[in-house]
Amino acid sequence: MSMDLSEFLDVFLEECFEGLEAMESGLLNLDEGTDLEEINTIFRAAHSIKGGSAAFGFDQISEFTHVMETLLDQLRSGRRQVDRDTVDLLLASVDVLREMVEGLKDDTGPDEAVVADLRKRLEAAVNQAPAKSQSDPEPTPAENETEPSAGDKGPEEVRTWRIFLQPSPEMFRQEDDPVRLFRQLRKLGELKVETLLGELPPLDELDPTTCHFSWRITLRTGAGERAIRELFAWIGEPRRLEIEPAEESDRSPEPDSNTETGLDNAEARAERKKSEQDVPEPEPAIEKDSPASAEEKPPAKAKSARSSQNRESNSIRVSTEKVDLLINLVGELVITQSMLNQVSSQLAQQGGPEVEALFNGLAQLERNTRELQENVLQIRMLPISFAFNRFPRLVRDVSRKLGKRVELVITGEQTEVDKTVLEKIGDPLVHLVRNAIDHGLELPEVRTATGKPETGRLELSAQHESGNIVIRISDDGAGLNREKILKKAIERGLVSEQEELSDERIDNLIFLPGFSTADQVSDLSGRGVGMDVVKRNINDLGGTVSIQSEPGRGSVVTIRLPLTLAILDGQLAQVGGETYILPLISIMESLRMRPQSLKRIAGTTEVYHFRNQYIPVIRLNHLFGIPGGTESLEEGLLVVVETDGQLAGLFVDRLLGQQQVVIKSLETNFHQLPGLSGATILGDGRVALIVDVPGLVQLHHDQQNHRAATLVAVS
């Protein structure tokens, strides 16, 4: 029977990426000091990737990871000291390993030359004899009475080894494959394996996920004990492992006389269980000063961490397609609920017990629907730490390249946000963090000269505010040079010399396309791309971005985003016979206009004096070509919105109330329209379009510029 492994492969790839994140995070923590538990965490992640890749037949990944694992084992056993060069080498190995795993998704491969070079460096580091610590005491004569370790004998001496292996009962659940272990042992020499079935329970008590086997192995090889023990790292931490030369094991008692045939009777099984309760489990027979002792007896912390990792998980893996389908169905349920409410309001005039019972049932349905909707949306919510975890490595690499010292502080990493928002916010954050290090933070000598500490502070924070998520990237660097920014903007024709701009407007000029103040083009900055892409990507998510800066004190970039892209808190506005949804996140306030505050520029462009500044008035009925809308500005309402640090006024007939609406994609059902981000279905079954405020303001500016150019051409 053939089996489709594609589903299992997706799970394996996801676990690989999680393991790689854990390895990278742990290695970065090692920069700040040696932590044995951190090393064990990194080692376990590498071991899981190696075992899974071997099970799927990805030999290049498993063999490469095996070399990494060997180097990590030297660190955790204390045979090698943690230093910066080793951490750098392992971080580079994680990068290459990530390329290998990503290549499995899109059928591409890493640079083979890079892989081969890095593997040689890893092997050279493994084979390099670690320097003996001066604090290690010299062995006493009593400690040297035994024969030298077999691992120290030359490879030319062929010996017979007796091996007894009793693995952990969790071996199968850890995806450890003993057959692969035997294949690797066979490569070392002549191999004989005897399976011991003494612990095999009756069939009705058998758990197929628990390992009940032990093995007695005879190996004739020229390899030493250390080489043999390294192969057993494939199966994690066994309950019992004995590796002895044949002449020593012949003098030792058999590990279990009742398991000779594997078919012992009930009396023997009962006697063995009784003896196991009375006699403590023997420890592996290893020499006192052998390096393998550290391998076989890891610290208690590492063992407890491993056991906790093997506990049954309280979560399941579900594809995002299934979650999206569920959210879409719940959205349809919400729309149906709104329709029923509207119909029930028409029946309210009839009265009677039947109508009252109907109202009670609909009220209960509405509560249940709202609770269901909120809980389903929580399924897609993930902590923003998934996006923040990449930045310790990024800050480390960029700061070293620029010769700067940077302390990264992350707060609010457990703040939850929609998975789609999480995936799309990563690249904008990378641009902002790189710019903060490159342009904001000064070199150590410059900071010292200005009375600042040599190490700059870069803070990345996230929190919920008014139903939105707010992300801030702040630094204590030099701040923005407004004079230089304004000069560059005028040179590039982005603003005119006659314009009077506030400090906030000048700061936000850096988000204009093609804008850059870098004097030299480098691989980090200076090409005039990046910040405008940041703004566009954030606007596509229905969010806003702004910057505040104080010269000599630093800058703060603030990003406001909706928590989810499936549901929108909106303000319903009527324009003519149509209803539009204005996102509440963009609305500052609404007001009735005073005629004396309204001005016209060049006879066509209308602006309104609002809080000591003039803002453009955008008539939605003219912009969208809607007949029957209110023309008198005194009779309608002006909704003041903010985008990219600028204010604008949307003129509508009236406001109908606020409502949480389910967003339907225009691109999926129709095609993208400028100034609109989607659509929704109202309670009466009508379709209402959702306004894209940044796109709407840009569309208004484009129409004004086109009209002005047309007038110039005619005149």
Per-residue pLDDT, 84: 84
**Between the CA atoms of 101, 107, 110 and 112, what dihedral angle is there, to the nearest 10 degrees?**
120
The residue ranking higher by pLDDT, 66 or 710, is 66
pLDDT band at 444 (very low <50, low <70, confident <90, very high): very high
**Strand order of the sheet with strand 468-475?**
406-411, 456-465, 468-475, 554-562, 544-550
Q: Decide if pLDDT at 19 tops 50.
A: yes
- CB atoms < 10 A from the CB of 10, how many? 13
Choosing from 24, 38, 69, 295, the catalytic residue is: 69
Distance CA 537, CA 421 (A): 10
Which 3 state secondary structure label does DSSP give 612? Answer: coil
Which 3 state secondary structure label does DSSP give 291? Answer: coil
Mean pLDDT, range 329-358, rounded to an integer: 77
Write the CB contacts of 139 (distance below 8 Å, at least 6 apart in sequence): 289
Percent of the chain's residues with pLDDT above 90: 9
2: left (phi over 0), alpha (psi -120 to 50) or beta: beta
Maximum average pLDDT range among 30-39, 224-233, 344-353, 521-530: 224-233
pLDDT band at 644 (very low <50, low <70, confident <90, very high): low
Mean pLDDT, range 406-411, rounded to an integer: 92
Q: Decide if pLDDT at 553 tops 50.
A: yes
The residue ranking higher by pLDDT, 99 or 523, is 99
Mean pLDDT, range 501-507, rounded to an integer: 78
Structure tokens that stand for 141 in this block: 């004569």
Strands (E), 483-583: 544-550, 554-562, 567-575, 578-583
CA 382 to chain centre: 9
Residue type, 494: L
Write the CB contacts of 314 (distance below 8 Å, at least 6 apart in sequence): none
* Burial group, residue 192, by CB count within 10 angstroms (0-12, 13-18, 19+): exposed
- Homologous superfamily of domain range 6-130: HPT domain (1.20.120.160)
Per-residue pLDDT, 523: 52
Per-residue pLDDT, 640: 93
Per-residue pLDDT, 448: 92
Q: Decide if pLDDT at 473 tops 90.
A: yes
Mean pLDDT, range 21-25, rounded to an integer: 87
Low-confidence winner among 223-237, 292-306, 581-595, 612-626 (lowest mean pLDDT): 292-306
382: left (phi over 0), alpha (psi -120 to 50) or beta: beta
Structural element, H or E, at residue 75:
helix 59-76
Residue range 383-562 forms a domain whose CATH class is alpha beta
Distance CA 268, CA 284 (A): 24
Structure tokens that stand for 403 in this block: 């010769």
Distance CA 636, CA 539 (A): 28
Nearest to 672 by CA among 649, 688, 690: 690
How far CA 355 is from CA of 49, 348, 350, in Å, comes to: 62, 7, 8
Maximum average pLDDT range among 4-8, 471-475, 532-536: 471-475
Quick one: fold of 149-304?
Alpha-Beta Plaits (3.30.70)
Mean pLDDT, range 407-436, rounded to an integer: 88
Q: Decide if pLDDT at 297 tops 60.
A: no
Beta bridge partners of 416: 383
Mean pLDDT, range 160-187, rounded to an integer: 81
Mean pLDDT, range 455-462, rounded to an integer: 93
Mean pLDDT, range 163-184, rounded to an integer: 80
Percent of the chain's residues with pLDDT above 70: 78
Mean pLDDT of the residues in the chain = 76
**Ranges of H-type helices in 408-468:** 419-435, 444-449
Q: Decide if pLDDT at 157 tops 90.
A: no
Write the CB contacts of 519 (distance below 8 Å, at least 6 apart in sequence): 526
Distance CA 103, CA 85 (A): 27
pLDDT band at 447 (very low <50, low <70, confident <90, very high): very high
Distance CA 319, CA 156 (A): 54
Tens of pLDDT, residues 39-71 = 888 888 888 888 788 777 788 888 888 888 888
Q: Decide if pLDDT at 76 tops 70.
A: yes
How far CA 139 is from CA of 276, 289, 476, 619, 697, in Å, comes to: 36, 9, 54, 90, 80
Write the CB contacts of 524 (distance below 8 Å, at least 6 apart in sequence): 398, 401, 402, 434, 438
pLDDT band at 150 (very low <50, low <70, confident <90, very high): very low
Nearest to 198 by CA among 261, 259, 275: 259
Q: Is 435 assigned a catalytic role? A: yes
Per-residue pLDDT, 684: 72
The answer to whether 360 touches 599, Cβ cutoff 8 Å, is no
Q: Is 700 assigned a catalytic role? A: no
How far CA 267 is from CA of 225, 261, 270, 272, 281, in Å, comes to: 38, 15, 5, 9, 21
Nearest to 409 by CA among 456, 442, 458: 458
Choosing from 40, 435, 468, 539, the catalytic residue is: 435
CA 405 to chain centre: 25
Q: Is 341 assigned a catalytic role? A: no
Mean pLDDT, range 447-455, rounded to an integer: 91
Per-residue pLDDT, 225: 82
Q: Decide if pLDDT at 130 tops 60.
A: no
Quick one: fold of 567-714?
OB fold (Dihydrolipoamide Acetyltransferase, E2P) (2.40.50)
The residue ranking higher by pLDDT, 618 or 187, is 618
pLDDT band at 638 (very low <50, low <70, confident <90, very high): very high
Per-residue pLDDT, 287: 37
Tens of pLDDT, residues 362-397 = 888 888 888 887 788 788 788 888 888 888 888 988
Nearest to 324 by CA among 425, 423, 414, 415: 423
Choosing from 21, 40, 47, 606, the catalytic residue is: 47
The residue ranking higher by pLDDT, 608 or 303, is 608
pLDDT band at 313 (very low <50, low <70, confident <90, very high): very low
Nearest to 602 by CA among 684, 524, 694, 710: 710
Mean pLDDT, range 634-663, rounded to an integer: 85
Per-residue pLDDT, 456: 92
Nearest to 679 by CA among 578, 550, 546: 578
Tens of pLDDT, residues 77-87 = 778 888 888 88
Write the CB contacts of 3 (distance below 8 Å, at least 6 apart in sequence): none
Tens of pLDDT, residues 203-216 = 888 887 788 888 89
Structure tokens that stand for 173 in this block: 């659940």
User: How many distinct helices (H) and strands (E) make up the chain?
Assistant: 23, 22
Low-confidence winner among 452-466, 502-516, 689-703 (lowest mean pLDDT): 502-516
